[in-house]
C-alpha cells in the first residue's frame, strides 16, 4: 500500500491498569506518554457532563496535561461541545492549547444529544444546530485575527494569542443522522462517527456527506476518521468470550439507546468492532481502508470489567506494531 496515505492510528484512554475504571484526570498524562511511546499518532478525549466517575467536562484542560508529557502526539477532542460555551472564550481556550502543544491540536466538535445537559446550562436544545453554526463562524473569524464587536456600542476586541496552526487547528465534527450530516457537509468538514455505527451505515453516511458537500459547493474532505472498539490477542478463548460479550452489550445498547444504534444491534459483529487475533484485526482494518477510505482509525476504550487490565494494556501496545504499515 505504498501509494496510499499511511494509516493514522489514535486511541482514547484505555485505563491501562493505572486507575480504576474511570476518567481519573491524574492518569491522563501517563496514558498519553505510553501512547506516544508505543507508536500511536494521537490521543482523543470526549466531553460529557454530570456523569459521575466517567465525566470529562473539560477535555482541553486534560489535553494540556497530556501535552506536557509528550512531544509529537496529536491531541484531539471527539466532541468539544460548542453550544455550551461562549464562542469567544472557546476560541481563546483552543488557541492557548494549540500554542501550548506546539500546534498538535485536532478539534473534534460536537453539539451533544443529552437534554439534561442542555437544561443544566440553561440552553434550549432545539436551538443547538443554529448555535453551533453561529459559534463556529465566530470562532473562525476570531482565529483569523478579525476585530469583533460582541455587543452594540462595545469596543472591538481581537483574539490573542492566535492558534499556532493557521488558519486554525484541523476541525472535525461528530454527527448523527441526516440533519447533522447535511450541516457538516455544508461546512465541508470531516465527519466523526459514533463508534458503534455499522460499516453499512458508515458507507451511507459518507455518501450523504459527499452529496451535501457538493450541493454546498465544498470539496469532499479527504480525511475519513472512524472510531472503533479494538482489541487484539492470540488467546482464542479470550477473544471468543470478548466477542460474545460485546455482541450482547451492543444488542442491549441498541434496544434502549438512540435510533442510530438500532442497526448496530442487528449487524454482524465485525461490522461494528475490530476484535480478534493479529491476522483478523489486520484484515478488518484493510477492509475499512478499502471500502470506506479510512485515513484515521481511533481505538476506543473497552468498558468491560471481565477483561484483565494487563490484556487491555498488551492489546493497546500491540495495535501500532501490527497496523503501522496498513
Give strand ranges (E) for the chain: 8-11, 42-45, 74-81, 105-110, 171-174, 191-192, 225-232, 274-276, 296-300
Determine how many CB atoms are found less than 10 A away from the CB of residue 15. 20
Q: Which has more pLDDT, 4 or 187?
A: 187
Range of the domain at 218: 8-225+292-306
322: in domain: no
CA distances from 213 to 20, 134, 226, 270 (A): 43, 19, 19, 29
Residues 3, 208: Cα–Cα separation, whole Å: 27
Backbone φ/ψ region at 293: left (φ over 0), alpha (ψ -120 to 50), beta? left
Buried b (16+ CB within 10 A) or exposed e, 150-159: eeeeeeeeeb
196: in domain: yes
Could you read off the pLDDT of 165-207 as tens digits, one per residue? Answer: 999 999 999 988 888 899 999 999 999 988 888 899 999 999 9
Q: Hey, what's the cell of 24?
A: 481519573
Q: What is the CATH number of the domain that holds 99?
A: 3.20.20.30
Q: Which has more pLDDT, 255 or 222?
A: 222
Could you read off the pLDDT of 232-284 as tens digits, one per residue? Answer: 999 999 999 999 888 888 887 766 655 555 555 456 888 999 999 999 999 99
Length of the chain: 326
277: in domain: no
Task: Give the pLDDT mean for 101-123.
Answer: 92
265: in domain: no
- Considering the chain, what percentage of its residues have pLDDT values greater than 90? 65
Domain count, the chain: 1
Could you read off the pLDDT of 5-24 as tens digits, one per residue? Answer: 889 999 998 655 554 445 66
In this predicted structure, the answer to whether residue 30 has a pLDDT above a threshold of 80 is yes
275, 231 Cβ separation under 8 angstroms: yes
Q: Give pLDDT, residue 133.
A: 93
131: in domain: yes
In this predicted structure, the answer to whether residue 73 has a pLDDT above a threshold of 80 is yes
> What is the DSSP code (8-state) at residue 249?
H
250: in domain: no
CA distances from 186 to 45, 77, 156, 168, 183 (A): 25, 21, 29, 18, 5
241: in domain: no
262: in domain: no
Bridge partners, residue 228, by sequence = 299
Q: What are phi and psi of 26, to 5 degrees?
A: -70, -20
Q: Give pLDDT, residue 260.
A: 55
Q: Give pLDDT, residue 20.
A: 45
Amino acid at each position: 500500500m505504498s501509494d496510499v496515505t499511511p494509516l493514522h492510528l489514535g486511541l482514547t484512554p484505555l485505563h491501562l491498569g493505572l486507575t480504576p475504571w474511570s476518567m481519573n484526570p491524574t492518569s491522563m498524562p501517563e496514558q498519553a506518554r505510553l501512547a506516544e511511546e508505543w507508536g500511536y499518532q494521537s490521543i482523543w478525549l470526549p466531553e460529557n457532563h454530570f456523569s459521575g466517575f466517567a465525566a470529562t467536562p473539560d477535555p482541553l484542560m486534560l489535553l494540556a496535561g497530556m501535552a506536557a508529557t509528550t512531544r509529537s502526539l496529536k491531541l484531539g477532542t471527539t466532541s468539544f461541545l460548542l453550544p455550551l460555551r461562549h464562542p469567544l472564550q472557546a476560541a481563546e481556550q483552543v488557541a492557548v492549547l494549540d500554542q501550548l502543544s506546539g500546534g498538535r491540536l485536532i478539534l473534534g466538535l460536537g453539539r451533544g444529544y443529552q437534554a439534561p445537559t442542555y437544561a443544566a446550562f440553561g440552553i434550549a436544545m432545539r436551538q443547538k444546530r443554529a448555535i453551533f453554526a453561529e459559534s463556529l463562524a465566530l470562532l473562525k473569524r476570531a482565529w483569523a485575527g478579525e476585530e469583533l464587536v460582541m455587543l452594540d456600542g462595545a469596543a472591538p476586541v481581537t483574539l490573542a494569542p492566535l492558534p499556532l496552526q493557521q488558519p486554525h487547528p484541523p476541525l472535525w465534527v461528530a454527527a448523527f443522522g441526516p440533519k447533522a450530516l447535511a450541516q457538516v457537509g455544508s461546512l465541508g468538514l470531516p465527519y466523526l462517527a459514533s463508534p458503534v455505527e455499522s460499516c453499512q451505515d458508515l458507507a451511507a453516511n459518507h455518501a450523504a456527506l459527499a452529496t451535501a458537500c457538493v450541493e454546498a459547493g465544498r470539496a469532499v474532505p479527504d480525511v475519513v476518521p472512524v472510531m472503533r472498539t479494538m482489541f487484539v490477542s492470540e488467546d482464542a478463548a479470550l477473544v471468543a468470550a470478548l466477542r460474545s460479550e460485546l455482541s450482547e452489550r451492543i444488542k442491549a445498547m441498541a434496544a434502549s439507546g438512540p435510533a442510530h444504534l438500532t442497526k448496530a444491534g442487528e449487524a454482524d459483529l465485525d461490522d461494528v468492532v475490530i476484535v480478534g487475533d493479529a491476522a483478523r484485526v489486520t484484515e478488518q482494518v484493510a477492509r475499512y481502508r478499502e471500502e470506506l477510505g479510512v485515513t484515521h482509525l481511533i481505538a476506543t476504550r473497552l468498558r468491560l470489567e471481565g477483561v484483565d487490565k494487563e490484556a487491555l494494556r498488551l492489546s493497546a501496545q500491540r495495535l501500532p506494531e501490527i497496523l503501522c504499515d496498513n
